[in-house]
Structure 1
Amino acid sequence: MSQFSQNAPKTAFTLSSAIGVYQLVGGLLGLGLFLKMIPALENPSATTWLGILLAALLYGFSIWCGFSLLKKTRSAYTLSMVNQILQAFSFGMSGVAYNYVAGLKVGVGIDFLASWVFKLRFSLSSFNFSFGTHAGISFVSVNLLALLLLYLLERTKDEAKGTLR
């Protein structure tokens, strides 16, 4: 048996634990920043409260995914992959905008203005979901860090398959 195959489960658990901590901290940070913003809102509408609820659910989901990876449950990898897929793409078109990041975003994107503008984007635990506003904003962005984490989760899932609870 090769040295790599003997260490594969240990490496998988170390990497998955690091991703678990990352998702846990990213969710807590996002939730904390978001809850800190609520008192500054002046006369929030029902749709604003709906957005706040959606953000809280997504950040709570990231926290749950982090705990699941740390506990090494069978569903942890699938849930964590869903969490990263939700963070992998951001867009804004025709009055609809979506951006969710629980942790870090290292993204590349295109703003569709009078001409296409390519951008490199960095952000820390951010959320935006709007419908019917920002009609002039058109962009598409890909979170490269989320894609990397998806790859690593898939790889460690296969290596740790026999040792999950």
Structure 2
Amino acid sequence: MSVKNSLKINSLGYYQVIGGIVGIGSTMRFLPNFAIIHAGIALLFGAIFIMYGFSIFCGYLLLKNRYNEDLKFSTYNQFIQVVGF
């Protein structure tokens, strides 16, 4: 793999890790706004935390330079984020 492609993949990895951390932080900021957390809200927040955690996981794998499987995970993650938008 060329250095240019490696730099792009590492940039994507950092983007995913930082985006996941920022997403978890901003989601946690909204938790105190709920006086009572019902099962539906807890399920929603659980799904949100899992998706941001998956983003961090994908970015971590990309930064470990194991590109074969990790680009698949990253592609799935990006697809989920586009659908989520």
> TM-score if structure 1 supplies the norm length?
0.49
Task: For 2:37 and 2:62, locate their aligned partners in 1 and report how far apart those are by CA, in whole Å.
Answer: 36
Indicate yes or no: 2:62 matched with 1:69. Answer: yes
Aligned pair partner of 1:47 in 40, 47, 72: 40
Amino acid at match of 1:21: Y
Tell whether 2:75 aligns with 1:81.
yes
Return the offset for 1:15.
Answer: 0.2
Q: CA RMSD in A?
A: 1.2
Cα displacement (A) at 1:27: 0.4
Q: Does residue 11 of structure 2 align to residue 18 of structure 1?
A: yes
Matches for 1:136-155 after TM superposition, within 5 Å: none
Please list the CA deviations of residues 31-75 of structure 1 after superposition, one character each: whole Å capped at 9, or x if unmatched.
000012112212121010000100000000000011111101232
Structure 2 unaligned residues grouped into runs of 5+: none
User: Where in structure 1 are there 5+ consecutive unaligned residues?
Assistant: 1-7, 90-98, 101-165
Deviation string 1:120-141 (CA, Å, 9 cap, x unpaired) is xxxxxxxxxxxxxxxxxxxxxx
Counterpart CA distance in 2 for 1:35 and 1:72 is 31
Distance 1:40 1:61 in 2: 25
Find the aligned partners of 1:24 and 1:12 in 2 and give their Cα distance.
18
Q: Counting strand residues as a fraction of each chain, which structure ranks higher? A: 1
Q: Which has the higher contact order (CA 8 A, sep 6+)?
A: 2
Structure-2 separation of matches of 1:71 and 1:23: 13
Overall identity of the aligned pairs, in % = 29
Rounded Cα–Cα distance in structure 2 between residues aligned with 1:88 and 1:39: 28
Largest Rg, 1 or 2: 1
Q: Which has the higher helix share?
A: 2
Which position in structure 2 is the counterpart of 1:56?
A: 49
